[in-house]
Chain A
Amino acid sequence: MRIRDLLLLGGVALLGTAMMAGRGGRGGRGAPAAGGTISGKVTFTGTPPKMKPIDMAKEPFCAKEHAAAPVFTENVVTGPGNSLRWVAVYISAGDQGSSPATETVRLDQKNCQYIPHVLVVQPNQPLDIYNDDPHSHNIHPLAKVNPEWNKSQPAGAPPIHAKWELPEFIPVKCNVHPWMHGWHVVLTTSHYAVTGEDGAFSLQGLPPGKYTVTAWQEQFGTQSQDVTITGTETKTINLVFKATPY
């Protein structure tokens, strides 16, 4: 008798959760109320690798542009207080209604660097790629899930209009300038941030619910944490990576 009651209770609870989940999963049910915020910092423990100065001698124009302030590799960029830059922080589970983004994201190839080093787009969001240098670059996104393409873009050419359809972390390189590395991160959620030098992030407008926040760093992988939002509060979390020199 008792077991039957427990099973019944469990079944009802499951049904209830399923119904709640179903309700949240559909988008377009009116804009979410000014909701809660998940903010914090991405930091590391341990010893990170030293970034190396880039020798751009093969492209004299870029070498000259950086003569005063050398440029370093960007796979692990740290900041004050052991913060990590270029970390994509996003809602990886529990997202309740992210609508497709329509504003155009811009990528610049300037002085032989990708600016920004890490950019985030949502599926099919317009991405315009500019060549600001007086020489050619080729843009070679090494996509595996999305199509891999490779286009040359001479100096003065119009921007390349690109878009990515499927969620993926896409490394991008220029074959002519082998030190150029960047990332196109394609996320379905509109709740994301890319950390600056201070490692800080803030995900706003979150309706009440259970969320998983994931931080992705190109060399160290991912760190996740579960956060529950009940109203309009701000929950602060810290995501910490274990850094190794190699």
Chain B
Amino acid sequence: MRLHTRFVALVSGLGVLLYTAGATVGSAQETHIEGVTGHAAAGKKVYRRYCILCHGPDGDGNGENAQWIDPKPRDFTLGVFKCRSTPTGTLPTDEDLFNAMSRGFVTTNMPQWLPLSRQNRADVVAFIKTFSPKWKTTKAGTPITIPPEPTLTVESILHGRELYQKMECWKCHGARGHGDGPSAATLTDNKDLPIRPYDFSSGSRFMCGVTNRDLYKIFMTGLDGTPMPSFADDIKPADGWDLVHFLRTLQPLQTPEAAIWQAWLASHANELKPIGPPGTGQ
């Protein structure tokens, strides 16, 4: 009897020791998001309740549900993320991850996680950072500098249209932004899975937000892991806003850009050269 009690005590003690050790290793990661400090140890519990079924116990996107859904859940072990305020090839900031989780990804199975408290979400972000060794060796990138949005004019939209042609966005996104450009059908992501470019004519929210500023960041940082590259080396920061203004006109939404554009088209439409391969009237 006494031996048995001792044995149970020993095993329980060992168990507690192991559990604490595990918890200590996990809580090495912290996040700081607008006054909230997140801890990986607490985040692990939230992750195992809400995230594990898609993102998997190892954070590699191979949860039980993954086989049924498309696009696949993010593989956190790669340390590659779509929605960032940081340059291509760099890690996102804690805010980037927090916002992506809170916002969710429209047109995918990743919901908005607003029902979780800010503390919960900050904790989960801290835990997610433990899946990739990159977080131990590299710091998050430096967020890009975004100049203030200039006044919306039709000249801005027209210049944006020139950029859409010159930067060859139409090769994937199509002449009218329908996601049906000549290269659209063969696009694959970094796991060689088929992926479609954003269809502006759907009017759906962008992968990484809803505002003009979100749209600006998308093409100035690229969606890492996908075919969408960064144009930061090719488009001057101020010119980026012109492209944003033009892209809005491709959506079937009642935006200020669409209003100005429609008004201008009413009397000037025949001045426009079509978008597309050189030789189609360019």
Residues of A at the B interface (CB closer than 8 Å) are: 58, 60, 135-136, 138-140, 142, 144, 147-154, 157, 160, 175-178
Interface centre among B168, B224, B232 (most CB of A within 10 A): B168
Give the residues in chain A near B226, CB-CB below 8 Å. 150
B34 CB–A CB distance under 8 Å: no
* Nearest-neighbor residue (CB-CB) of B77 within chain A: A144
* Nearest-neighbor residue (CB-CB) of A142 within chain B: B190
Q: Is the CB of A176 within 8 A of B233?
A: no
Q: Mark B179-212, 1 if CB is under 8 A from A, else 0.
A: 0001100111010000000000000000000000
B-side interface residues, number (CB < 8 Å): 32
Q: Mark B100-140, 1 if CB is under 8 A from A, else 0.
A: 00000000000000000000000000000000001000100
Q: List 21 A-B contacts (CB under 8 A).
A: A136-B171, A138-B227, A138-B229, A140-B229, A144-B78, A147-B89, A148-B78, A148-B89, A148-B225, A149-B224, A149-B230, A150-B227, A150-B228, A152-B230, A152-B231, A152-B234, A153-B234, A154-B167, A154-B168, A176-B172, A178-B188
| A151 touching B233 in the complex, CB below 8 Å, given contacts A58-B183, A60-B277 | yes
A94 vs B234: C-alpha distance when bound (angstroms) = 44
Q: Is the CB of B224 within 8 A of A148?
A: yes
| A175 touching B183 in the complex, CB below 8 Å, given contacts A148-B89, A152-B167 | yes
* Nearest-neighbor residue (CB-CB) of A150 within chain B: B229
Known interface pairs A149-B230, A150-B230; 9 further A-B residue pairs with C-beta atoms within 8 A, sorted by A's residue number:
A60-B277, A138-B227, A148-B190, A149-B88, A154-B234, A157-B233, A175-B227, A176-B183, A178-B186
Do most interface residues of chain B lie in helix, strand or loop, or is the interface mixed? Answer: loop
Give the residues in chain B near A140, CB-CB below 8 Å. 190, 227, 229
B166 CB–A CB distance under 8 Å: yes
Residues of B at the A interface (CB closer than 8 Å) are: 78-80, 88-90, 134, 138, 166-168, 171-172, 182-183, 186-188, 190, 222, 224-234, 277
State how many angstroms separate the Cβ of B177 from the closest Cβ of chain A. Answer: 16
A131 vs B203: C-alpha distance when bound (angstroms) = 34
Give the residues in chain B near A60, CB-CB below 8 Å. 277
Give the residues in chain B near A150, CB-CB below 8 Å. 88-89, 222, 224, 226-230
Q: Is the CB of A151 within 8 A of B88?
A: yes
A60 vs B90: C-alpha distance when bound (angstroms) = 35
Q: Is the CB of A175 within 8 A of B229?
A: yes
**A154 partner, pick from B89, B134, B166, beta carbons under 8 A:** B166
A150 vs B78: C-alpha distance when bound (angstroms) = 15
A157 vs B168: C-alpha distance when bound (angstroms) = 14
State how many angstroms separate the Cβ of B123 from the closest Cβ of chain A. Answer: 26
Give the residues in chain A near B183, CB-CB below 8 Å. 58, 175-178
Q: Is the CB of B233 within 8 A of A160?
A: yes
